[in-house]
Amino acid sequence: MSSNISQSYPSGSESEVERAAAVATAIGAFEGLGDKLAAETTPLGEVAAADHGAPARWWVWVCPKGDFNGRLHVAGYARDRHALYTVCDTHGDTYLR
């Protein structure tokens, strides 16, 4: 397993609106993060509702760095790998999931 992989299980989930807001806040808080995401990810695109009609939700993971207070939010698809690309809202670090 890669050292870039955080915990194995998600700690919860969030709506598309919550996910987008968390990523936008992180981009605003950490210099150069927006450029890094633009270079290393492809957009998520439109996500359809689940089969039962519920709105799409995204997994959230605990950041493995330091105090474990940060949460990893999906920021896009990794450009060079088959993985979700996540960003920590507390540290600005990125991880593949």
Interval 6-29: pLDDT, tens? 456 788 999 999 999 999 999 999
| 81 found inside a domain | yes
pTM: 0.84
| 17 found inside a domain | yes
| Termini Cα distance of the chain | 11
Side-chain-side CA neighbours of 27 within 13 Å: the count stands at 15
Tokens of 67: 């105090």
| 34 found inside a domain | yes
pLDDT for residue 40 = 96
Range of the structural domain that residue 84 is part of: 12-43+54-96
Residues 29-43: tens digit of each pLDDT:
999 999 999 999 998
pLDDT tier, 67 (very low <50, low <70, confident <90, very high otherwise)? confident
Number of domains in the chain: 1
